[in-house]
């Protein structure tokens, strides 16, 4: 602890005495930006993970937790012993006993290895959040897992732990969001459930709270289209909730709706099983983090669920909608043009093709990657066709009509129950896919997919290493993290003079069913930046002002120079 404080003091001295003083947004005539036509490339990491990655989460120890439902029968990861210690034998009974197979794994990014984990109750279509200390909180599921709360604390030999506490009601196909308070989470919705609740509860009387939005958006014909609602934390501390085609801003402390937003245009439902995807665009220090904009892309056609039951797969939606859900303190004048006073309006545009069951990830550049999914049908067992093999790149700061580009295709279909997450090294990990209710490796239109891939965006290509910030280190005073509003240091090496340097932090999500729960990027203020001898650059950054802007926890910090991002390093923001 003393060495860390000493390093921070030395860092501050270097800041004050460095040879060259730079503005944090230094400009130059040479800007090495990746061309728009760049396609990226794919890597095959493993031929089998053994377990379908229906759910996936990155930990601050650079491991990835993947897990499937436990009721799907035997996976492709056999165990020598059950977790109760009894041996699994080569008998017909044990070969068909699901307890002789793993249903959760931990993937090590550096070694490319996996180890099995034990989940006691069924996690089928559950939800999760990563708490402030890096522990994965996991809620709900199916059957005996309906009301279960589980924890996974990342460590070398750790395993899943099931809490004795229970949810107040069944949470199957529910969503999860970390709140500004320390390690408190809101859980919203679920099949046949039209309410929200909190983990942990503030008192024994703190049960569930009815949410009229979920009643209003429920489609009886499909028993859903309001499931897995999209949740985003606004920087004013309220919660944005989107279900089907409608959305509200909820003051969860007072249990009242403070805003009702206009319905997203078009007749395509966006929530499960129609299954679009959503992100909150990066928050920026330049306007005090006050402009909060959400984006929703894709979804099934109206009537797709009924048609799929008859073997007809309707073409999905190709539209995306963007809407500012906060006030009008905006940097982008084009955004301002769609807001009048306190009124909010969806700005619509089209993707290069129809898409649903897609994942949306914020890249270190601030661009949005749309990956995985299908072109026709809806979510559910064998309810879709025509896999979407081409990722799309969306650049939110370009002019309307010029924001989308098509990236390099994969040869592996990633359909129902697939996931994708951003890794610290800039790659996107892609796994899973199983439209069958069991592990089916052959004799079906779309077999269970166990191969593990990484998509490498063009900006991570080695030809940009001359511009890429390298050897990034994070420095702060004594303690286990950075307090809100505090200053901390970042040190990195550049081969050339800095070019329009930006610093962002990214909260890794819990991903499942095209939702990246709690995904968040925040562009930080740089107080000053100095360049010394040998290409070393020191920057003094200011942490987010409060947990409303960035809930407590571990974030991936990235230095972006001339549009080229560094490999990310972990930083932790903490309550005082």
CATH code of residue 531: 2.60.40.10
- Give per-10-residue mean pLDDT for the chain (576 aa): 43 41 47 56 98 98 97 94 92 93 98 96 98 98 98 94 97 98 97 97 88 97 95 98 98 96 96 98 97 98 96 98 79 41 84 98 98 98 98 97 97 98 98 96 96 98 96 89 96 93 98 98 97 93 98 98 97 92
**C-alpha distance from residue 272 to each of 139, 215, 232, 388, 551 (Å):** 18, 15, 17, 18, 26
Which residues are bridge partners to 278 per DSSP?
296
In a domain, 221, yes or no: no
In a domain, 476, yes or no: yes
Q: Pick from 401, 386, 405, 393: which is nearest to 361 by CA?
A: 393
Separation of alpha carbons 148 and 150, rounded Å: 6
Q: Is the peptide bond prior to 497 cis by the omega test (within 30 degrees of 0)?
A: no
In a domain, 161, yes or no: no
- Say if residues 47 and 451 touch (Cβ distance below 8 Å): yes
The one-character DSSP state at 233 is E
Please give the residue range of the domain that contains residue 546. 2-34+469-574
Q: Which helix (H) or strand (E) holds 470?
A: strand 470-475
pLDDT of res. 23: 53
Count of domains for the chain: 1
Q: What is the pLDDT of residues 393-410, one digit of tens each?
A: 999 999 999 999 999 999
Rg (CA), the chain: 23
Contacts of 259 (CB under 8 A, 6+ apart): 248, 249, 325, 344
In a domain, 330, yes or no: no
- Say if residues 180 and 161 touch (Cβ distance below 8 Å): no
- CA torsion angle 269 395 323 551 (round to 10): 100
In a domain, 7, yes or no: yes
> In 333-401, at which residue ranges do the beta strands (DSSP E only) sit?
347-350, 359-362, 368-371, 374-377, 384-387, 392-394
For residue 30, the number of C-alpha atoms closer than 13 Å in the C-beta half-sphere is 6
pLDDT of res. 494: 95
Structure tokens at 520: 């968040």
Separation of alpha carbons 296 and 240, rounded Å: 13
Structure tokens at 45: 């990491």
**C-alpha distance from residue 509 to each of 128, 275, 359, 361 (Å):** 9, 18, 12, 9
> In 140-245, at which residue ranges do the beta strands (DSSP E only) sit?
148-152, 161-166, 175-178, 185-188, 195-199, 209-210, 230-233, 239-243
Separation of alpha carbons 168 and 161, rounded Å: 19
In a domain, 201, yes or no: no
Contacts of 65 (CB under 8 A, 6+ apart): 55, 56, 57, 59, 104, 105, 106, 107, 117, 136, 152
Q: Is the peptide bond prior to 183 cis by the omega test (within 30 degrees of 0)?
A: no
In a domain, 440, yes or no: no
In a domain, 533, yes or no: yes
């Amino acid at each position: 602890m003393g060495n860390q404080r000493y390093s921070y003091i030395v860092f501050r001295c270097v800041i004050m005495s460095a040879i060259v003083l730079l503005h944090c947004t230094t400009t130059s005539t040479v800007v090495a930006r990746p061309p728009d036509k760049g396609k990226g490339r794919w890597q095959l990491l493993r031929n089998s993970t053994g377990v379908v990655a229906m759910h996936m989460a990155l930990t601050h120890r650079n491991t990835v937790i993947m897990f499937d439902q436990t009721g799907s029968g035997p996976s492709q990861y056999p165990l020598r012993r059950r977790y109760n210690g009894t041996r699994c034998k080569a008998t017909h009974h044990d070969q068909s006993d699901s307890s002789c197979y793993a249903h959760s794994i931990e993937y090590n990014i550096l070694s490319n290895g996996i180890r099995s984990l034990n989940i006691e109750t069924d996690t089928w279509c559950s939800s999760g959040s990563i708490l402030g200390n890096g522990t994965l909180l996991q809620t709900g599921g199916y059957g005996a897992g309906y009301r279960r709360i589980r924890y996974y604390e990342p460590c070398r030999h750790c395993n899943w732990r099931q809490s004795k506490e229970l949810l107040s009601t069944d949470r199957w196909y529910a969503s999860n969001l970390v709140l500004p308070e320390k390690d408190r989470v809101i859980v919203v919705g679920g099949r046949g459930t039209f309410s929200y609740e909190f983990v942990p509860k503030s008192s024994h009387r703190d049960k569930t709270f009815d949410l009229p939005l979920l009643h209003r958006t429920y489609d009886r014909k499909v028993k859903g289209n309001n499931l897995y609602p999209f949740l985003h934390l606004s920087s004013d501390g309220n919660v944005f909730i989107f279900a089907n085609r409608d959305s509200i801003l909820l003051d969860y402390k007072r249990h009242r709706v403070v805003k009702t937003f206009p319905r997203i245009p078009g007749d395509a439902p966006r929530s499960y099983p129609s299954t679009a995807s959503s992100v909150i665009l990066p928050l920026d220090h330049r306007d005090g983090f006050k402009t909060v904009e959400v984006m929703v892309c894709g979804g099934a056609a109206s009537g797709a669920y009924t048609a799929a039951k008859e073997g007809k797969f309707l073409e999905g939606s190709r539209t995306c909608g963007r809407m500012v859900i906060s006030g009008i303190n905006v940097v982008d004048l084009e955004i301002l043009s769609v807001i009048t006073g306190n009124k909010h309006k969806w700005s619509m545009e089209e993707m290069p093709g129809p898409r649903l069951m897609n994942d949306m990830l914020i890249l270190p550049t601030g661009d949005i990657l749309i990956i995985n999914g299908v072109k026709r049908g809806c979510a559910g067992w064998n309810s879709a066709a025509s896999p979407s093999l081409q990722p799309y790149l969306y650049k939110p700061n370009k002019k309307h009509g010029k924001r989308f580009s098509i990236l390099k295709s994969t040869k592996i279909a990633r359909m129902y129950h697939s996931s994708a997450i951003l890794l610290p090294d800039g790659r996107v990990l892609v796994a899973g896919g199983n439209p069958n209710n069991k592990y089916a490796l052959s004799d079906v239109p779309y077999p269970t997919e166990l191969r593990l891939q990484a998509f490498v965006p063009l900006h991570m290509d080695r030809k940009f290493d001359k511009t890429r910030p390298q050897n990034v280190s994070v420095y702060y005073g004594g303690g286990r993290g950075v307090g809100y509003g505090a200053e901390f240091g970042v040190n990195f090496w550049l081969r050339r003079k800095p070019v329009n340097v930006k610093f962002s932090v990214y909260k890794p999500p819990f991903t499942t069913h095209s939702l990246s729960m709690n995904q968040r990027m925040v562009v930080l203020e740089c107080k000053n930046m100095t360049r010394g001898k040998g290409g070393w650059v020191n920057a003094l950054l200011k942490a987010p002002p409060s947990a409303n802007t960035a809930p407590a926890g571990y974030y991936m910090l990235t230095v972006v120079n001339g549009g080229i991002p560094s490999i990310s390093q972990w930083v932790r923001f903490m309550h005082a």
